[in-house]
Amino acid sequence: MNKKITRALISVFYKDGLEAIVHELAKQHVEFVSTGGTEEFIKKLGYPVTPVEQLTGYPSIFGGRVKTLHPAVFGGILFRRDEAGDLRQTEEFKIAPIDLVIVDLYPFEETVAKGGSEDEIIEKIDIGGIALIRGAAKNFNDVLIVSSREQYGEVLNIIKVKNGSPDLADRKRFAGLAFDVTSHYDGAIFNYFNQEQGIPSFKSSFQKGKTLRYGENPHQKGVFYGDLDKLFDQFNGKELSYNNLVDVDAAVNLVKEFEGDTAFVIIKHTNACGVAIGSSVKEAYLKAFQADTISAFGGVLASNQKIDLMAAEEINKLFFEILIAPDYDLDALNLLKSKKNRIILKQKQALTSTKQFKSLLNGVIEQDQDLHTDSEEDLKTVTKRAPSPSEVNALLFASKICKHTKSNTIILAVDGQLLSSGVGQTSRVDALKQAIEKAKSFGFDLKNSVMASDAFFPFPDCVEISHEQGISAVIQPGGSIKDQDSIGFCDQNNMAMVFTGFRHFKH
């Protein structure tokens, strides 16, 4: 059922995009009620407006904390137009209907993100606005609620096309959008307070969602919740799929470990099949590709430096799904875009999340992100021979890759180049054997290479096998009751071993 808008309450923090709506409502002879800055905005457009204070008989009080909380306002929104009792009370108390409410909320999240003081943040907890939104949304049978500037375009079109008379479907849709806004807002406030309180309650809200072609497999539905446009510019290719997104996340998180170096990573099913540091992007790519020229086919590639033409000419020879970089030279970009299905992404900002969560059993499991990167300060030499400076560099390089590889994992590397990895094995010995076999299959000599393990060695078998291959140094967390067995073997065979004290399981 269409219902004509006769009176609108408008009170917004952000005025951009509002002018066209005000003009259109005025054409429809809608009466305006407003407060503060919005009232002045409407007056400057040349239209009469009734101040809320005139309805309520009260000025804005307590520093603006109380303006609209009054029966003359909420009664006009909430009374049921088809209820005789409600209609009698509107006459008794002289309450006029409000058919349209356009309200947004104080910028609480933005104030937190900018590092506002506690007083500033608390003052951005909206009271009247959120009550108006909830009230108007509850009474969607009679009232249209516009709760965000992102809805302005849609509501303007409805007002124009339907002559200022939205139908029930319109009103119900906007009510749903309104409760999305209020629930997200309350969740953000709770999470701010819960930084100190530690209340065991999980709340996470993402207001933007994008339906994917399918989930992990074609028979599964998939949706991404988040704002990819804020993170990336996409220059080419089809829409990102579920599996693409999972691999992009892995690639971006791994390549950011090498800040200060020119690094290149190649990802396949979230694990690195190539990682290298070079003096140029071209060199880093070629070294990364060398580690596994088979798995790189159809992979997800990432660089932490601008892609120039020399690098693009080499990368262009490979069939790959996605390339991610902070920027591209124009000639390089044009070359890479020559194949229409390639996805080319420019990363505009770093990932900032410090938590991660996933559904599990009948709930959600949450943890801190593993943000610890092993450094030279973490290394504790536990063998008679200390690693050389070159070995230390190689060990730390391997450890960074190990942290981002599925457990159980073993990484074999030299300074600045992944040689091979054993990933996702139920036995650490199997992971090592897989890594050795793979390195040999691509022609690498493991003599004087290093080994990284995501967790401790329960037995000395891994160091024994690695010694047979000529591996000279090992990095691992330590912590096994049989650590000394591995240390003793290393000492007998002039191998260096360091403990970090940090395990890096990844499941």
| Cβ atoms 130, 114 nearer than 8 A | no
Tokens 């610890």, located at residue: 372
What DSSP state is assigned to residue 307? B
| Cβ atoms 297, 317 nearer than 8 A | no
Q: Could you tell me the maximum CA-CA distance found in the chain, to the nearest angstrom?
A: 97
Number of neighbouring beta carbons within 10 Å of residue 448: 14
Sequence-ordered alpha helix ranges (H) in 369-457? 389-403, 428-441
**Closest alpha carbon to 466 in 426, 413, 418, 416:** 413
* SS3 category, 205: coil
What DSSP state is assigned to residue 101? E
Beta strands in 80-205 (DSSP E): 100-103, 144-146
| Cβ atoms 399, 475 nearer than 8 A | yes
Which candidate in 203, 269, 337, 440 is catalytic?
269
Query: CB-based burial of residue 115 (10 Å sphere; 0-12 exposed, 13-18 middle, 19+ buried)?
Result: exposed
Indicate if 44 belongs to the active site.
no
**Closest alpha carbon to 404 in 374, 446, 440:** 374
φ, ψ of residue 315 to 5 degrees: the values are -60, -35
Nearest-angstrom CA–CA distance, 502 and 432:
20
Beta strands in 59-98 (DSSP E): none
Provide the angle, in degrees to the nearest 10, between the axes of the packed helices 483-492 and 461-468. 20
Which candidate in 15, 43, 138, 337 is catalytic?
138
Distance of CA 212 to the CA centre of its chain: 16
Distance of CA 325 to the CA centre of its chain: 17
Nearest-angstrom CA–CA distance, 137 and 135:
5
Reduced to 3 DSSP states, what percent helix, strand and coil does the chain have, rounded to the nearest 5? 40, 20, 40
Indicate if 138 belongs to the active site.
yes
Nearest-angstrom CA–CA distance, 60 and 67:
5
Catalytically annotated residues = 138, 269
